[in-house]
Amino acid sequence: MLRPMIVAVLMLGGPAWAEAEVPTSRAQIQMGFVPVVKTVTPAVVNIYARRVIEGRASPFADDPFFGQLFQNFGSQPPRVENSLGSGVILAPDGIVVSNYHVVGQATDIRVVLNDRREYEATVLLADQESDLAILQLTGAKDLPSLPLRDSENVEVGELALAVGNPFGVGQTVSSGIVSGLARSGSVTGSTRGYFIQTDAPINPGNSGGALVDTEGRLIGINTSILSRSGGSNGIGFAIPATLVGQFMQQARAGATTFQRPWAGITGQPVTYDMVEGLGLARSGGIILSDLHPASPFRASGLKAGDVIIAVAGQEVNTPAEMIYRMSVAGIGTDLTITAVQGGVERDIAVPMEAAPETPPRDTQVTGGGAAVPGVTLSTINPAVIAEYDLPLTSEPGVLVVDPGETGGRAGLRAGDVLLGIDGRAVSTSAGANTALQRARGRLALDVQRGERRLTMRFRL
């Protein structure tokens, strides 16, 4: 399912690489891509997803007087939202990959194969940031599947085929070339990633479909297009198959959420005007500005001011590229980071680790006797920082995971960080919970909200 965004991105729904040969006969020219299409299309599926959007209750629902007068005022009934997209079978036992924006939060998923067989599907693993989801088809066996190609071997100019179900018209194949590599940044709404660019026409409904090479190997999963009109303008993006492989591996291991190695660093791309001051030969790379005390990069000897120029032998120029390289490597490996320190280039081995749960997040919900009941609080640690995308430089505090009904009416928001309660600093969920239980008469909350710091005062 594609949603057009003006001058922006639209959400869309093997053996060694052989040198391409020019057709030498009339028969070869007439055949075109027929052999590869016959091999690929049985493994590309149509996906129909359905989810129920909860309705909104009347704001007077809990009021004993006005609730009788305005029973349905401002209320909205539940509604059903349907999405249409594509997917790719990765294994004969019914493992399928698609986009998160096609199947994420779906309550009912139906998958239709090219030969019209239908299966119910469940989501094994989903990740909104990467816009990928791994599905399991119920009762499936001996299905056709596509092999994954190492994305590092893909080159600009290669022929590519896009297979999917654009606009719901039925399975369609379009051809083009690989137009670019290492396209990174926020390409699909909240999605941050690293993409392969193609000019093979893809449109709404192609979400989750296959981008394959001329040998029928999966290069990537089509996920978005850049368009003014809602149709294809020849600028499409696909998630590399190498990352898809890591998703499938984690799903096979029983993970329900994608586990990324944690860097615990912040940085920015090195621009041309920064080169001389950093003692570099040319622009490129990422200069580190801050490292968390628990960062594995810091433990390996990196520090603020160092410039990372390559990861696993591949040049990196943006944080999104580095996150991609780390995600592909996976937790439990050692990754070679090439960095410039004091003008000297060095290779440094950095262990890929999950963000630590130290100190424990100790999630608690304030009780009915608290000044603000029903607030879900967590102690901030590296895992919480990574999960909720908090700044590394944020002061020690307690995260408001859910403000609850009372907290929401009082002005608290999910993502707020409580720094102090009634003038006393708080750094654990237990301490914040106790302070809210003890508050009487008046209450003052020191809150960090994004880049703003504010004090909220209440009379109890």
Is 263 in contact with 299 (CB distance < 8 Å)?
A: no
- Report the C-alpha gap between 223 and 157 in whole angstroms: 20
* Cβ atoms of residues 89 and 248 within 8 Å: no
Asked if 86 and 206 touch (Cβ cutoff 8 Å), the reply is yes
CB 112 within 8 A of CB 45: yes
Distance CA 100, CA 450 (A): 26
Residue 158 near residue 174 (C-beta atoms within 8 A) = no
Q: Which residues are catalytic?
A: 101, 131, 207
Q: Which two tokens stand for residue 274?
A: 């920064």
Is the Cα torsion angle 19, 24, 25, 31 positive or negative in sign? positive
Name, in order, each residue with C-beta under 8 angstroms of 350's C-beta and a sequence gap of 6 or more: 296, 297, 300, 302, 334, 335, 336, 337
Euclidean distance between CA atoms 75 and 85, whole angstroms: 31
Write down the residue that tokens 């654009």 correspond to: 166
Query: Which residues have C-beta within 8 Å of that of residue 254, sequence separation ≥ 6?
Result: none
Report residue 234 as tokens: 């020849």
Task: Give exposure, 351-386, as e/b (b: 16+ Cβ within 10 Å).
Answer: ebbebeeeeebeebebeeebbbbbbbbbbbbbbbbb
CB 211 within 8 A of CB 105: no
